Each structure stands twice: as structure tokens, then as C-alpha cells.
């Protein structure tokens, strides 16, 4: 393949790869935060019941 | 409501991108001097514009926080900064790949490239700094100061191709009095800018929701410890 076209494709792949990696990072963080939020909510509820 | 807006923006962004990719790759001819590689400009320029606009927007939110001490401004500032950093990274990466073919090197230390890389590092430092500070108000205050410094640097980077004779090309867009592109080649760039702007808005909304979760977790933890 012509090197010019090959590098154009590398450029496009790099752009979308960065977006995909960020979306994966966002998804993992969202899942972690949701789990943590549930855990802390349960902790607060159990504390209130004890009182 | 938030989910509906996200889906609507995703539909708009996806439709424009699909239609515009067809124009860029199937309808537009190769550029006379650069060949096919010039098409990188359709991602490189919109990504950098979004990076710069985002840093400017984050500056406004940071000033909003410093004036009001309202942490919602800080949440907006960090969300916009993080997404802008992603687009600035796309700008740097695509520019470097273009330079490898056109200049024969991956990187040169000219005013535009160096100041933009410095800007990226400052805002990456902004995110790292925020992780190091536990207290929310102090974290927001430090972040706002770094955001102001970083945005000054972003403005210097924006003007660098006018102020200095850089190896980086001079402005090409007609809205910046450049006029370096053939008339038919310029509109797809603005369409890509619009599509990527919708994508950026989606990412900012998702990131903002995470910031709200994080604050709720902080509040609940304090409540749990007080029991």
C-alpha cells in the first residue's frame, strides 16, 4: 500500500483508538462508582437502623 | 431526560460522521502536494479546536468557582478539562503522524507544537493534582489556578502560528483569514467539527454524572462516619 495512504489510516486509527480507550476508561469508572455508591448507601442505612 | 439527550446527540454525531466520511474518502480528490494524507486535517483541526475551546470553557467554570465557591462549577470544569485533554491528545497524535510523511519527522520543537504539548502536560498535571488533594474546596481552588495558567498557555499556542514563523502551517481556514484550502474541501471540516462537538458533549455529560456520583459518595461517607 502507498505509504501516504497507510499513514492516513494510522492517523484515523489513532484518533478513534484514543476515543475508544477513553470511553472504556469512563465505563469502568462509572461501574466502580455505582458499586461504591451502593455500598456506601447500604452502610448508611445499616447505621441508621442500628440507631 | 439526560439519557434522551445523550442518545439524540449520539444519533446526530453518528449520522453526520457517516455521511461526512463518505464525502471525505469517496468524493474529495487527493490534495495536489500532500496526496491522501491531507485528510488527517479533518480530525486534527476539529480535535484541536475542541481542545482549545474546552480549555477556555473550563477556565470560565474555574473563575465561576473562585467567585462563588459553588462546587458545581468545579465539577463542570474538571469534566470539560478531561474531555478536552482527550481531544488535544487526538490533535497531537494525528499531527505527529501527518508530520512523519510531510516533514519526514514525527516531531519538531517549534512554537506551536511545543506550546500545545506544554498545554497538554499542564492539564494532565491538573488532573493528577486533583487526585492528590482530598478536601473538595482546596482541590477545586488549586485546580482553578492551574486551569487559568493552562488556558493562558492554550491562547499562546493558538496565536503562536501568527506571532512566530513556525514550521507548523499558518492558518488555513477562511474563518481565520487563512484561505489555504480549496472551497469544496473546507465544509467537511466544519461538519466533522460539529459531529465531534456532539461527541464531546456526550462525554462531558457522562463525566459530569460521575462527578455527581463521587460527591454523593463523599457526602454519604461523612454521614456514615458521623453515626
Higher-confidence residue: B118 or B225?
B118
Instruction: Please state, rounded to an integer, the average pLDDT across all residues of chain B.
Output: 92
Cross-strand bridge partners of residue B157: none
B49 touches chain A (CB under 8 A): no
Cα–Cα distance, B94 to A14 (Å, whole number): 7
Query: What does the pLDDT look like over B76-85, one tens digit per residue?
Result: 999 999 999 9
pLDDT digits (tens, 9 = 90+) for B48-72: 999 999 999 999 999 999 999 999 9
Please answer whether residues B144 and B62 qualify as being in contact, where contact means their C-beta atoms are separated by less than 8 angstroms. Answer: yes
Asked if residues B200 and B79 have their Cβ atoms less than 8 Å apart, the reply is: no
The total domain count for chain A is 1
Residue of A nearest to B38 (CA): A8
B2-226 has CATH 2.40.50 classification: no
Digit-coded pLDDT (tens) for B204-224: 999 999 999 999 998 888 887
Q: Domain range for residue A10?
A: 1-44
The pLDDT of residue A1 is 60
Estimate to the nearest angstrom the gap between the alpha carbon of B171 and the chain centroid: 18
The residue to which cell 478531561 is assigned:
B82
The pLDDT assigned to B178 comes to: 66
Residue A50: inside a domain, yes or no? no
Is there a contact between A11 and B44 if contact means CB atoms under 8 Å apart? yes
Q: Using an 8 Å Cβ cutoff, are B19 and B192 in contact?
A: no
Best mutation target, B97, B99, B104, B211, to test chain A (most A CBs within 10 A): B97
Nearest Cα to Cα of residue B208 among A7, A3, A33: A33
Q: CB distance from A37 to chain B under 8 Å?
A: yes
Confidence of residue B33 (pLDDT cuts 50, 70, 90): confident
> Quick check: B37 contacting A, CB < 8 Å?
yes
- Cβ of A19 under 8 Å from any chain B Cβ? yes
Amino acid at each position: 500500500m502507498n505509504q501516504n495512504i497507510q499513514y492516513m489510516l494510522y492517523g484515523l486509527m489513532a484518533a478513534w483508538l484514543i476515543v475508544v480507550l477513553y470511553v472504556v476508561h469512563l465505563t469502568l469508572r462509572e461501574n466502580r462508582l455505582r458499586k461504591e455508591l451502593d455500598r456506601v448507601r447500604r452502610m448508611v442505612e445499616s447505621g441508621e437502623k442500628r440507631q | 431526560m439526560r439519557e434522551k439527550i445523550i442518545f439524540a446527540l449520539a444519533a446526530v454525531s453518528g449520522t453526520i460522521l457517516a455521511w461526512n466520511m463518505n464525502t471525505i474518502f469517496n468524493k474529495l480528490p487527493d490534495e495536489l502536494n500532500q496526496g491522501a494524507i491531507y485528510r488527517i486535517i479533518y480530525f486534527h483541526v476539529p480535535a484541536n479546536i475542541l481542545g482549545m475551546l474546552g480549555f477556555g470553557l473550563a477556565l470560565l467554570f474555574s473563575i465561576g468557582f473562585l467567585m462563588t465557591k459553588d462546587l458545581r462549577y468545579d465539577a463542570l470544569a474538571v469534566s470539560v478539562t478531561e474531555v478536552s485533554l482527550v481531544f488535544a491528545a487526538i490533535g497531537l497524535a494525528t499531527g505527529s503522524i501527518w508530520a512523519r510523511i510531510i516533514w519526514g519527522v514525527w516531531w519538531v520543537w517549534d512554537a506551536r507544537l511545543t506550546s500545545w504539548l506544554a498545554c497538554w502536560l499542564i492539564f494532565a498535571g491538573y488532573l493528577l493534582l486533583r487526585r492528590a488533594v482530598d478536601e473538595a474546596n482546596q482541590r477545586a481552588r488549586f485546580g482553578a489556578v492551574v486551569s487559568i495558567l493552562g488556558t493562558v498557555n492554550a491562547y499562546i499556542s493558538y496565536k503562536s502560528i501568527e506571532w512566530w514563523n513556525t514550521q507548523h502551517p499558518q492558518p488555513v481556514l477562511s474563518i481565520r483569514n487563512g484561505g489555504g484550502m480549496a472551497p469544496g474541501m473546507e465544509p467537511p471540516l466544519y461538519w466533522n467539527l460539529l459531529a465531534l462537538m456532539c461527541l464531546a458533549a456526550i462525554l462531558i455529560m457522562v463525566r459530569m454524572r460521575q462527578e455527581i456520583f463521587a460527591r454523593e459518595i463523599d457526602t454519604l461517607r461523612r454521614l456514615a462516619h458521623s453515626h
